[in-house]
Chain A
């Protein structure tokens, strides 16, 4: 039976997209054509697409009631690995980076799913470790991409039909993720685990395997983000992904996913990451704003987004109970 359409419910469920539209509207009013041009919008999305990739993985993990703070570390190691292997050709650089990502993700999964260490602490530990590894690869210095892998530049700077390659990757990953979350058994298992792990076990869901896969996916996405970053900057940089641990959580929460798990939409994370992009774009257009002011403004906008989302959330609870 289809529920009756209700304006309140619609607002509460799509709060993040509405917030995104509002922000875009404000930016259009403030900046006019500077904001609403194809080149600016593409630029805006491209800038957040690497972070967005990582956020998709983190969103899944949070829906399952876990955390992944190590995504920034994984991005850093993969960016360095790709640069380190670039003398052996593009294929080696990309494959090496992806393999590293899978491995680091699997280590997270092993700690959480097999050793059953609390996800927050486990990935806090691996975050420290991965950042250390990234520094170790080239003594804490950045490492230029070798000329031997000419094709590598395409990952971060290539265009297909005038659309930057990172955006296409981000869109494809988001689309696949939405499909997996909403239309597959695996997706439902993730929601079930986040909702109530004990009942999920009783229902016969293989919790450990599901979590293991989640962390491997998350590692892969974050790692590929790091690889694209290396391509974009033409160098592996050990500080790639600094702050991604927190930014991804912020984007996911802005997208309407509950941090305690069991509820949330993958499309919400996409909205969250785009909100992030619009805010950053607006700050850039303000001209000469020092970084600390950027940080403060960003923080306050985030804070108000979380508060608004929270109020909407409560209304939804009232509506669904009433």
Chain B
């Protein structure tokens, strides 16, 4: 007979509400240790900064749900935002440029999905390669130089503040949270993702069109990265193709993992991912407010991620 240890119940609790719990713990720790932690202005800045990660994370949640992974998101973002910047520089209207890069994001995503599902290439290796190629193309577009964003319409999309200093990004966050949740919960997509992630063969036998669904999901991830590229370009005064979007895949995967979507595939948990990104925002805030130098900040970040994953790891029978 097995006794239920206290630690086990805690870990079950963490499994269910892990992301929210880590989020709360971080707030508590900060409230105690960080001087004037409730600095609203800083918080708004960081939320505005992290909105692209939010979009990428939502796409990533679905991809990871199918037991895949997309490491090319940062490079898709870079490629899309540099093309956006270049088109605006050449005088194209914002709407046309946005349409073009959404299309580019979709096409790259479709290619990824096709290679994964039809050609059977491992997602991790395919998207590593795509990461290299797309980063190369991004740098190629501007010959390595950064391109300034001078278009006032686009900049307004990224820099507008509502009264009280609330950034416009709060709207974008709300939109993606609602759209993502609906996709995951109210449409068949969420079920299909879970079916493919849990058991590819069974899903196929049950009549799920694996290739079509996988292509659709990677396309979603590509489009999300393109949107993130627009948001990134809108917020910053210039796009540097060798830096922009670097290591975003790491933040996104960490957010998804903290959020409770199993990396072995399974139910896409958008609410969890939302809290996952919020946790990443809090981590960044903690680091900024405590004046932790950049070098240590990454170490702290890594250990918070590892800690939260340890707390909500799946207990093996």
Which A residues are within 8 Å of any B CB, using their own CB? 111, 115-118, 120-122, 124-129, 131-133, 135-136, 139-140, 246, 249-250, 253, 259-260, 290-296, 298-300, 302-303, 306-307, 310, 314
Main secondary structure on chain B at its contact with chain A?
helix
Of listed A259, A290, A291, A306, residue having the most chain B CB within 10 A: A306
B130 CB contacts on chain A under 8 angstroms: 299
Which B residues are within 8 Å of any A CB, using their own CB? 69, 71, 119-122, 124-126, 128-133, 135-137, 139-140, 144, 250, 253-254, 257, 263-264, 294-299, 301-303, 305-306, 309-310, 313, 316
Given the known interface contacts A117-B310, A136-B299, A292-B136, the answer about A259 and B120 at a Cβ–Cβ threshold of 8 Å is no
A and B contact pairs by CB, cutoff 8 A, 23 listed: A116-B316, A117-B306, A118-B264, A121-B263, A128-B299, A128-B305, A132-B297, A132-B299, A136-B296, A140-B294, A246-B128, A249-B124, A249-B125, A250-B125, A292-B137, A292-B144, A295-B133, A296-B137, A296-B140, A299-B130, A302-B129, A307-B121, A314-B120
Task: Give the Cβ gap from B240 to chain A, nearest Cβ, in Å.
Answer: 13
B133 CB contacts on chain A under 8 angstroms: 295-296, 299-300, 303
Contact between A259 and B124, CB atoms less than 8 A apart: yes
Complex formed: what's the CA distance from A302 to B296 in Å? 35
Given the known interface contacts A296-B133, A300-B133, the answer about A136 and B144 at a Cβ–Cβ threshold of 8 Å is no
Complex formed: what's the CA distance from A131 to B316 in Å? 31
Complex formed: what's the CA distance from A139 to B293 in Å? 10
Given the known interface contacts A133-B299, A299-B136, the answer about A259 and B122 at a Cβ–Cβ threshold of 8 Å is yes
Complex formed: what's the CA distance from A125 to B255 in Å? 12
Partner of A136, one of B121, B124, B295: B295
Task: Give the Cβ gap from B271 to chain A, nearest Cβ, in Å.
Answer: 20
Given the known interface contacts A136-B295, A246-B131, A296-B140, the answer about A125 and B125 at a Cβ–Cβ threshold of 8 Å is no
A111 CB contacts on chain B under 8 angstroms: 306, 310
Contact between A298 and B139, CB atoms less than 8 A apart: no
Given the known interface contacts A117-B309, A120-B263, the answer about A310 and B129 at a Cβ–Cβ threshold of 8 Å is no
